[in-house]
Structure 1
Amino acid sequence: MIYKIFWALRAVLYAPFFGKFGFPGYLGRPLFLMGIKKVFIGKKVRIFPHLRLEVHRSGTVCIQDDVVISQNVHITSAGNLVIGKSSLILANVFITNIDHDYEEIGKHVVKQEYLVKDTIIGDNCYIGMGSAILAGTILGKQCVVGANSVVRGEFPDYCVIVGAPARIVKKYNLESQKWEKVN
């Protein structure tokens, strides 16, 4: 528990370098931070150690209130990337809104243009361990992403998404108030 006191102190020390860092909150020892003036963090955000957070060009990252980001998470943005309030992101997750163009033969992929599409994770989402949330993904409210899933596309509120590529396997039925399998 004492380590969290150090993490809270680190958040206070790093806060002026962010676009916004709400309190209370804490920040475990980061692995790499780039462009954090364009990162806006809400209140009660808990970030565990080894976060790699990169903002390129005119990108932004908005992490809303009461989000938990576990260890070894990599977030990269060159457009708009939003993590909705009360979401939980487990360890070893990758979240981006960038793809690299690859169509120019003979030119290194890193030297080709970025293809940027906004990525939005809705409120109260659960992102399972080892998942990849790719450019252009939009998750509705309270989506559950299974471990090691590779997610791209738009998904409605209250669904369970698993696999590589990810697909919906359950939806919450508001009438019966139960999670139901999808065929």
Structure 2
Amino acid sequence: MYFRVINKLQSNLFRIFYKRFFKSFGEKSNILFPLNINGMKNISIGKGVSVAYKTWLAAVPHTNEEKCELVIGNGSSIGNFNHIYATKSIIIGENVLTADKVYISDNLHEYEDINVPIIHQHIRQIGTVVIGDGTWIGENVCIIGVKIGKNCVIGANSVVTKDIPDYCVVVGSPSYVIKRFCFDTNEWRKTNKMGDFIIS
């Protein structure tokens, strides 16, 4: 009970003092004790969004893009210790659920020059990130520069480096589709690694 009261108080104070620094910050949204927030003016938070404990949100144009944005859609719930870093564009749809320790990025550190420590090399812009409405992202997932469709399930510990269509279940590092929703039979069906339905 005590911690619930403290969390609610912190969320209310955050909305009162900080929401005006965001590009937009919807009603009934809260961010609980963030680890860090960079580039607030580039971050849009929808209505009824929950961002849990010690998450790091960032939208900073380190790759010199004209536009930099991080958008979290209405009703989405971001877990504890997430790290979401946009240098161009990350758009998280509505009613997306992420578990704890999820990493989402649209950029990578350069590492090509072996004579220069990676920390001193440039940041490279890769594909923009879009996560479709209603998708569920499991614990310890990494999503790097890709688009994920709506109502997908991304299994725990997956590393997603290729686009995922709507209505898919993916696992693995690198990730691959193991199930897709079949509208002909109105059920989830297993697939092979090419994404084709397995005939039983």
Q: Shorter chain as normaliser: what TM range?
A: over 0.9
Deviation per residue, 1:63-86 (Å, 9 max, x gap): 111100011000111011010111
The equivalent residue for 1:126 is 136
The alignment partner of 1:176 has SS state of coil
Which of 139, 142, 146 lines up with 2:151 in the alignment? Answer: 142
Deviation per residue, 1:101-145 (Å, 9 max, x gap): 21122112233222212011111110001111112x100111110
Structure 2 residue 174 is matched with structure 1 residue 175: no
What RMSD, in angstroms, separates the aligned Cα atoms of the two structures?
Answer: 1.3
- Deviation, 1:40, is 0.6
The equivalent residue for 1:43 is 47
Write the letter of the residue equivalent to 2:176: R
The equivalent residue for 1:14 is 18
Measure the CA separation in 2 of the matches of 1:12 and 1:161: 39
Q: TM-score, normalised by structure 2?
A: 0.87
The alignment partner of 1:155 has SS state of coil
- Deviation, 1:24, is 1.2
Write the letter of the residue equivalent to 1:49: Y
5 Å matches for 1:34-183?
34-57=38-61, 58=65, 59-116=68-125, 117-135=127-145, 137-183=146-192
The equivalent residue for 1:2 is 5
- Deviation, 1:5, is 2.4
Contact conserved, 1:4 with 1:26, CA < 8 A, in 2?
no
Contact conserved, 1:82 with 1:120, CA < 8 A, in 2?
yes
Q: Which has the larger radius of gyration?
A: 2
What is the number of residues matched between the two proteins? 182
Measure the CA separation in 1 of the matches of 2:12 and 2:86: 25
Measure the CA separation in 1 of the matches of 2:24 and 2:135: 22
Deviation per residue, 1:43-79 (Å, 9 max, x gap): 0001111011122224210111110001100011101
- Deviation, 1:18, is 1.0
In structure 2, stretches of 5+ residues that fail to align are 193-200
- Deviation, 1:34, is 1.0
